[in-house]
Amino acid sequence: MYSNYSIDQITSPIYEQVAQKLLSLAKNEEMKRKMEGILYEGGFDNFSINGNFAMEREVLFKNNPTIEASKRLNMAYLLLTNPKIIDVMQRTGSVFFHGTNANALPYILKYGINSLDRSQENNIKVITGEEFSRIHGKRGFVSVTDCIDISLTYAGINPNSKNMKEQLLNFGIIAGVSFQNMEDIRTISINSDISEIAVKDNLPLEHIKFLAVPKDKEEFVKKLVGEKNIEIVGMDLDDKFYILNFSNKLKTLESYREESVDTKTTSKTFTKEDVKKAVETRRFSKIKEIFAKIKKQRSKKNNNKIDIAERS
């Protein structure tokens, strides 16, 4: 059994309509089988959209049939549009999500995900999702959720964001989180009306199993991540399907076209000609200066490494 809820508790006429439409769009029999599992049982093979471990059960207390129904439709749609994500979720047990902005990525790849309070203690200015949801005083935890629609609302700034005064841009990311090894994790109780877990202070990097990024950012983020054990998968983070009500989900599916999903990109790309124009305005003396600055930084870091090695 993959879920605490039976199909009778989940289903409704509109749920059934959306489910049937999703199944009709399945690319092959194997995908259809998995979608049926998600929609009617909450999982397939050894994979449950609610997870199998103690941590995941914490969110079940906040679960209810409506949330469960929405989760199943969203996961079935995710399988339809991004089967790679479902595949990595199944392999790594990462059924939780944390949405953030690409500005956080260099820090996350070194230190893991910090709580808002921990970030601000380290003088990291935070203007993305976590700050919007600070209501009273402290926010010494990292929020992870098993509802992808919630993580998408936290996933950065896009040109359509109504929260930003200026329509500035840096792409959002969804970190896929697994709690298969929980020794270093502490949770705290929070009074929240959404399905989330609060991880105390810091979520270490080893719990992040994948990063979902806009498809045209896949190559770049793969380079950033390097040899770390984190998979990079492309996803349309602006896809409204996940946050729509069931009726509008159905309408969206009725005009669904596979090619339009595959070609979605972030709205801005700099071309070579564009960049070259700016490059040609520089001065050789200034280029030498920045080169020297970087070289100095590298030798400083190497000296620190030598000091640390000598001390130890």
Partner 1 sequence: MENTQTISDISKETLTFLAYFNNEMINKIPNSVIIKLCEYASDSTLEFFIDPNKNFENQKISEESKDLISLIYYNYIADEVEKKEIENRWNENDKNFEIQQKKIYNSDNLFENSSNINKEYTQSCQENSMIEYKESLLKKIFIKIKNFFKI
Residue 29 interacts with partner 1 (CB under 8 A)?
A: no
> For residues 190 and 292, which CB has a smaller minimum distance to partner 1 in the complex?
292
Among 6, 64, 167, 192, binds partner 1 (CB under 8 A): 167
Q: Which of 84, 97, 5 is nearest to 43 (CA)?
A: 5
Q: Which of 61, 86, 84, 62 is nearest to 72 (CA)?
A: 86
- Give me the torsion for CA of 10, 14, 18, 24, rounded to 10°: 110
Residue with tokens 């790849």: 109
Measured from the CB of residue 142, what is the shortest distance to partner 1 in angstroms? 17
Q: What are the residues whose beta carbons fall under 8 Å from the beta carbon of 289, sequence distance 6 or more?
A: none
Rounded CA-CA distance 101/183 in Å is 28
The answer to whether 185 and 58 have CB atoms below 8 angstroms apart is no
The sign of the torsion formed by the CA atoms of 5, 7, 9, 14 equals: positive
Question: Interface residues for partner 1 in 79-138 (CB under 8 A)?
Answer: 101-103, 105-107, 109-111, 122-125, 127
Among 13, 281, 308, 309, binds partner 1 (CB under 8 A): 281
Residue 259 interacts with partner 1 (CB under 8 A)?
A: no
Residue 205 interacts with partner 1 (CB under 8 A)?
A: no
Stretch that binds partner 1, among 45-53, 139-147, 198-206, 275-283 (CB under 8 A): 275-283
> For residues 159 and 204, which CB has a smaller minimum distance to partner 1 in the complex?
159
Stretch that binds partner 1, among 14-22, 90-98, 141-149, 270-278 (CB under 8 A): 270-278
Cα angle: 242, vertex 82, 128; to 5 degrees: 50
Residue 274 interacts with partner 1 (CB under 8 A)?
A: yes
Measured from the CB of residue 159, what is the shortest distance to partner 1 in angstroms? 5
Q: Residue 149 is encoded by which pair of tokens?
A: 């629609």
Contact positions vs partner 1 (CB under 8 A): 101-103, 105-107, 109-111, 122-125, 127, 157, 159, 166-171, 216-217, 219-220, 223-224, 226, 266-272, 274-287, 289-291, 293-294, 297
